[in-house]
């Protein structure tokens, strides 16, 4: 069990790629972000500004050319189950059932027998009850997203990286899963970094929203969301926060 608070420190990150013609693409330059404790932090910015790049760096799937990145004071050197990444397209294991997808990490860590009941708990929490034996091609897009989220949360990661996990879903399904994410976060007490293009979703879920510049991605500003849960999307303060994020996004050169 994790008792102490895990912090994430990103300082002056630089990540340069090469495009197909060999030209430099500066995805991130001077990107800094500090997260303490179990915060849910939103990342919003124009397409191509380096949001997914940043998540991949935190996940340990890629390395920066400059700057520093650490979790709990330790530099990130590679992937680790303490940091879970959930992609936009769910990316489930097609050959495994919903149950086995969710149980996958427990089996890999050889704790499945002791923790089997947690699979059922998460299935129930995410509204997947009755679909345990279904394969990914037999479930809806919303169920696939929930399965992917449960597969990540079951590992009790310190940091959960969500890369537009709900962007392909209809508004009603999104709203349901947003509440389920809040529920899971309340139990998990992890750092969540949520990349989304949906400002309302960010204000609904996050404690803080980081607005990024167009490429090269840097932090333009941030908006603290000091509203208690459950949040009312129609309330004046909620709408004012949406406006504040839009204002920051709109102020780009």
Ligand X SMILES: Nc1ncnc2c1ncn2[C@@H]1O[C@H](COP(=O)(O)OP(=O)(O)OP(=O)(O)O)[C@@H](O)[C@H]1O
Query: Among 31, 33, 42, 51, which residue interacts with ligand X (rule: CB under 6 A)?
Result: 51
Instruction: Look at the alpha carbons of 183, 52, 222, 30 in this order and tell me if their dihedral is positive or negative.
Output: positive
Token pair of 198 as six digits: 């949906």
Interacting partner of 215 out of ligand X, Mg ion, none (Cβ under 5 to 8 A depending on kind): ligand X
- The CB-of-149 to ligand X minimum distance in angstroms stands at 19
Per CB under 6 A, 27 contacts ligand X: yes
Nearest residue (CB) to ligand X, 17 versus 238: 17
Using an 8 Å Cβ cutoff, are 66 and 14 in contact?
yes
- Interacting residues with Mg ion between 42 and 81 (CB under 5 A): 52
Using an 8 Å Cβ cutoff, are 59 and 83 in contact?
yes
Per CB under 6 A, 42 contacts ligand X: no
Token pair of 32 as six digits: 């800094």
Region from 45-53, 99-107, 136-144, 240-248 binding ligand X, contact rule CB under 6 A: 45-53
Instruction: Look at the alpha carbons of 136, 142, 148, 153 in this order and tell me if their dihedral is positive or negative.
Output: negative
Cα separation, 138 vs 130, whole angstroms? 12
**How big is the chain by its Cα radius of gyration, in Å?**
18
Total number of residues that touch ligand X (CB under 6 A)? 11
- The CB-of-53 to Mg ion minimum distance in angstroms stands at 8
What CA–CA distances, in Å, run from 88 to 117, 130, 145, 186? 27, 24, 8, 22
Cα separation, 122 vs 129, whole angstroms? 9
Per CB under 6 A, 87 contacts ligand X: no
- The CB-of-187 to Mg ion minimum distance in angstroms stands at 27
Interacting partner of 214 out of ligand X, Mg ion, none (Cβ under 5 to 8 A depending on kind): none
- The CB-of-61 to ligand X minimum distance in angstroms stands at 10
Query: Which positions lie near ligand X, rule CB under 6 A?
Result: 17, 25, 27, 47-53, 215
Interaction site with Mg ion (CB under 5 A): 52
């Amino acid at each position: 069990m994790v008792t102490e608070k895990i912090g994430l420190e990103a300082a002056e990150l630089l990540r340069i790629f090469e495009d197909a013609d060999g030209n430099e693409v500066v995805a991130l330059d001077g990107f800094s972000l500090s997260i303490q404790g179990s915060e849910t932090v939103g990342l919003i910015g124009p397409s191509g500004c380096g949001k997914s790049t940043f998540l991949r760096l935190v996940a340990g799937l890629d390395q920066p050319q400059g700057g520093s990145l650490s979790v709990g004071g330790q530099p990130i050197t590679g992937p680790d189950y303490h940091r879970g990444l959930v992609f936009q397209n769910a990316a489930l294991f097609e050959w495994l059932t919903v149950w086995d997808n969710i149980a996958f990490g427990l089996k890999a860590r050889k704790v499945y027998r002791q923790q089997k009941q947690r699979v059922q708990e998460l299935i129930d929490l995410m509204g997947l009850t009755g679909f345990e034996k279904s394969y990914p091609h037999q479930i809806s897009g919303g169920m696939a997203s929930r399965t992917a989220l449960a597969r990540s949360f079951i590992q009790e990661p310190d940091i959960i990286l969500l890369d537009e996990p709900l962007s392909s879903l209809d508004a009603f399904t999104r709203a349901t899963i947003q509440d389920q994410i809040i529920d899971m976060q309340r139990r998990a007490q992890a750092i969540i970094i949520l990349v989304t293009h949906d400002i309302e979703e960010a204000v609904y879920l996050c404690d803080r929203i980081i607005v990024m510049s167009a490429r090269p991605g840097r932090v333009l500003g941030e908006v603290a969301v000091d509203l208690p849960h459950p949040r009312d999307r129609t309330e004046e303060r909620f709408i004012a926060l949406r406006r504040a994020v839009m204002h920051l996004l709109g102020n780009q050169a």
